Chains A and B, each alone.
Chain A
Amino acid sequence: GIQVEQSPPDLILQEGANSTLRCNFSDSVNNLQWFHQNPWGQLINLFYIPSGTKQNGRLSATTVATERYSLLYISSSQTTDSGVYFCASRGGGADGLTFGKGTHLIIQP
């Protein structure tokens, strides 16, 4: 099945800084999603982006399917952006989502 790698595993930034999180996947995908896991464990949908670029406020994401990577950008970070960000993808078969190990982001005031 598909393999998903996220980097960096940990990221500590000051409030107001910008950040880029990367997700590499091993094969063609028909689904790529970015999630933010809240402190209670729920996965909050950020982007569904199997290809192209999307923006939502201070967050944007780009997936280059031909090169098998996706990037999540967070601009002007706030302390509420802290948490774990997951990338997940699914290939063309009947498999479920394969998740990366996540990026643990800490935004310091």
Chain B
Amino acid sequence: KAGVTQTPRYLIKTRGQQVTLSCSPISGHRSVSWYQQTPGQGLQFLFEYFSETQRNKGNFPGRFSGRQFSNSRSEMNVSTLELGDSALYLCASEPGPNTGELFFGEGSRLTVL
């Protein structure tokens, strides 16, 4: 079956703009989480969604937000982009919250100029 699908794969934005990234989980998976990877901070947890509700959020400013739709697809949004937001954003899915193994998508690579 299809894996986790993230779009777009690459994008370039300028400071002050906003960006929306999309993630479709593996069919049947209802929990979606987001991670940011940068050279300086490594891989960091952003937030997790289940049943259209945010279950937990990492230590990121309010400019980072997300939502989940009834079909389990998720989007994350970053407003007022800063240079430091340049990163690889990875989405992961699992059947339900804390149910076990997470599977990751290919990521969305954001460059902020």
Interface residues of A (CB under 8 A from B): 30-31, 33, 35, 40-43, 45, 48, 86, 88, 90, 92-99, 101-102
Could you tell me which B residues sit within 8 Å of A by CB distance? 33, 35, 37, 42-48, 55-56, 58, 88, 90, 92, 97-98, 100-107, 109
Q: How far does the alpha carbon of A33 sit from the alpha carbon of B104 in the complex, in Å? A: 12
A to B CB contacts below 8 Å, 22 in the list = A31-B98, A31-B101, A31-B102, A33-B101, A35-B104, A41-B37, A41-B90, A41-B107, A41-B109, A42-B106, A43-B90, A45-B101, A45-B103, A48-B101, A94-B55, A94-B56, A94-B97, A96-B33, A96-B35, A97-B35, A99-B35, A99-B43
Contact present for A94 and B90 (CB under 8 Å):
no
Residues of chain B with a CB closer than 8 A to A97's CB: 33, 35, 43, 45, 92, 102
